[in-house]
Structure 1
Amino acid sequence: MSFSGEVKEELSQKVSTARHCQIAELAAIMGMCGGVVITSGDRYRVKIQTDNLPVARKCFTLLQKIFNIEPEVSIRQHQKPQKTRIYNVLVPKHEDALRVLQALKLIDGHMEIRENLTAADNILLQRTCCKRAFIRGAFLSTGSMSDPNKSYHFEIVCSSEAKARQIQELIGSFDMDAKIVCRKRYFVVYLKEGAQIVDLLNVMEAHVALMDLENVRILKEMRNSVNRKVNCETANIHKTVSAAVKQTEDIRYLKAAGGFSDLSEELLETADLRLENPEASLKELGLMHNPPIGKSGVNHRLRKLSNLAETLRGSKEEHYYD
């Protein structure tokens, strides 16, 4: 099972004890993958269609707990793609369907169905716990998550911009910055930052998935930290080696050109030690001096030797052109 599937399986087993939260979650599911069938004589039926078993199971449970309704469940199998199973949860009785629609605020006093089955003015979402339940229901219905070992991506696909804005605002109420992108004819609410996805899993009360994701994040951060340190140390070693090679070349040039005769005892000692120990660090070279000197002292002397070599090169070039 994919990570996204595991999250949905966990959420499908989370049933709020409060009736208002159950209604909020069912309203989200209904808005995302539900519909109203109007038969002859203006008789209503409520139908929820999904290819996700946890969603169908959650709908069945919520309808039973909230309304004491025994919905009808049917399964159809599509040959494409990959022999997908379609689950239909149906409330066939007109009176029961009306109770559901009225409780979910999807129908007004004139028996008019709300456009796109969007919960009216967030009237069901005044409490923080209901907001959590609504986001949970929306993710269960049309949400998905990438494998955190590969990338961080959380999304909920909406059929209208109004629904996407509603979910974006609800997520924003928990101090998370969800974005919306238009993908073909759908509007997708998404998060790509690992820490925010962890927070949203906590909001939806997917605590097992949260711990799994946190473990992945910790391992990734440890690897990244180790890689940064290794890269930094490698760069420092490369820099040190390059500097040592340049210093050695300058000192050899200075010696070959007879420049050693004008050096002070201190510079001569440092020059000889660098030639004898081309791979030594500044600290190691400093300890080899008699008496020992610090890194800054060694660096100062080596810079003087390099400047002398450059001056000597320059004077030879001028003499050559003259």
Structure 2
Amino acid sequence: MPLTADVKAELIAVRDPRPSARVAELTALLRFSGGLHSIANRVAVEAQLDSEQLARRAARDLLEIYGVRPELHHVQGSGGRAGGHFAVRVIEGGETLARQTGLLDQRRRPVRGLPNKLTTGSRDDLAAIWRGAFLAGGSLTDPGRSASLEIACPSPEAAMALVGAGHRIGIPAKAREVRGVPRVVVRDGDAIRTALTEMGAQRTAAEWDQLRQRREVRAGVNRLVNFDDANLRRSAQAAVAACARVERALEILGDTVPEHLKEAGDLRLAHRDASLDELGHHADPPLTKDAVAGRIRRLLAMADKKAEIDGIPGTESAVPAGAE
């Protein structure tokens, strides 16, 4: 997804200098990209990331913040995961790191959501949580009916924690399960822009919003064109039906048709696509729209009454199928 790659490239370049924000982002990145594993009966912390640049940044942050030097591995893709991914793994000192980041609680139990100290942090810390979570498992689709910003979550508890953090900074996210995977989803266009901006992807947010506005304008134009086309079709069908009924009325009445009604009928047939107002201007002397409409209405009524008396098809019978 080009948009997803654009967002992640911009977010990787965001460097919040505040220690608490750096910890919040790194913890969320670890939590949403893998988390805890047991290797040789030891607690290991591992993040599975989709780019070497992000993996190297995570490794650098682990070294700078916690003083641990992780292993980096390129895992070849298999199945639907083309290109593979990069694993950032800490085995030696993994349990200590897990405790420091809050992935393990004081009783050595895995934290299924996010550490409470993070989700109750400052606005910058909450934005950093979202940034780390998106870098780990986020995606952004093109603007449109199905536009969404989504983050795959390791557990329903993590999804709810992320939703809560989002609400505190104005991101109206919802937790959903999609194909068995807990996800946090943002669908409204304005909300998606807010989420991108809060995470620090201002440039992508502006580009996404411009694309959204262009598509909305295009969709609006298409709706108007379709509306006009529909109106034109209805007008054409109505004109065909009206002319067919007038022709049948003149045929039914023959020489018995009153002269003023015959003139109105002849005007309708001579100017098939004209409006009633235009027909009035063609009359001699000119007539109002209501006068023309009244005369044509009386012509049809008179013909239908005669047809009923004579036992023959009325004016409606002359209307072609599809032109009713």
TM-score, with structure 1 as normaliser: 0.81
CA distances 1:172-223 after superposition (whole Å, capped 9, x unpaired): 4425242402423x21222344343233222222122222222322222122
How many angstroms does 1:64 deviate by? 4.9
User: Does 1:137 find its partner at 2:136?
Assistant: no
How many angstroms does 1:33 deviate by? 1.8
CA distances 1:66-97 after superposition (whole Å, capped 9, x unpaired): 44655443434346556634323345653x97
- CA RMSD of superposed structures (Å): 3.3
1:316 corresponds to which letter in structure 2? D
SS of 2:248 mapped into structure 1: helix
Which position in structure 2 is the counterpart of 1:87?
A: 86
1:133 corresponds to which letter in structure 2? A
Which position in structure 1 is the counterpart of 2:158?
A: 163
**Alpha-carbon separation, structure 2, partners of 1:70 and 1:143:** 26
TM-score, with structure 2 as normaliser: 0.80
1:256 corresponds to which letter in structure 2? E
Sort the Cα spacing of 1:253 and 1:130 in 2 relative to 1 into closer, same or farther, 3 A: same
**Alpha-carbon separation, structure 2, partners of 1:16 and 1:294:** 75
User: What percentage of residue pairs aligned between the two structures are identical?
Assistant: 27
Which position in structure 2 is the counterpart of 1:176?
A: 172
Task: Confirm or deny: 8 A CA contact 1:2 1:147 kept in the other structure.
Answer: no
- Equivalent residues in 2 for 1:253-268, closer than 5 Å: 253-258=248-253, 261-263=256-258, 265=260, 267-268=261-262
2:8 corresponds to which letter in structure 1? K
**Alpha-carbon separation, structure 2, partners of 1:21 and 1:296:** 75
Task: Confirm or deny: 8 A CA contact 2:33 2:136 kept in the other structure.
Answer: yes
Which position in structure 2 is the counterpart of 1:7?
A: 7
**Alpha-carbon separation, structure 2, partners of 1:9 and 1:88:** 18
Which position in structure 2 is the counterpart of 1:270?
A: 264
* Range with bigger deviation, 211-220 or 246-255: 211-220
User: Does 1:190 find its partner at 2:185?
Assistant: yes
- Equivalent residues in 2 for 1:1-322, closer than 5 Å: 2-36=2-36, 46-64=45-63, 66-67=65-66, 71-78=70-77, 84-91=83-90, 94=93, 98=96, 100-110=97-107, 112-116=108-112, 118-121=113-116, 123-148=118-143, 151-173=146-168, 174-184=170-180, 186-258=181-253, 261-263=256-258, 265=260, 267-290=261-284, 292-293=286-287, 295-317=289-311
User: Aligned pair count?
Assistant: 313
Sort the Cα spacing of 1:72 and 1:291 in 2 relative to 1 into closer, same or farther, 3 A: farther
Task: Confirm or deny: 8 A CA contact 1:240 1:281 kept in the other structure.
Answer: no
How many angstroms does 1:282 deviate by? 2.9
Gaps of 5+ in 1: none
Task: Confirm or deny: 8 A CA contact 1:32 1:158 kept in the other structure.
Answer: yes
CA distances 1:125-159 after superposition (whole Å, capped 9, x unpaired): 43222222111211110112234479523221112
Gaps of 5+ in 2: 315-324
Which position in structure 1 is the counterpart of 2:319?
A: none
**Alpha-carbon separation, structure 2, partners of 1:227 and 1:155:** 29
1:303 corresponds to which letter in structure 2? R
Sort the Cα spacing of 1:309 and 1:139 in 2 relative to 1 into closer, same or farther, 3 A: farther
**Alpha-carbon separation, structure 2, partners of 1:264 and 1:205:** 80
**Alpha-carbon separation, structure 2, partners of 1:319 and 1:109:** 93
Sort the Cα spacing of 1:262 and 1:52 in 2 relative to 1 into closer, same or farther, 3 A: same
**Alpha-carbon separation, structure 1, partners of 2:91 and 2:37:** 9
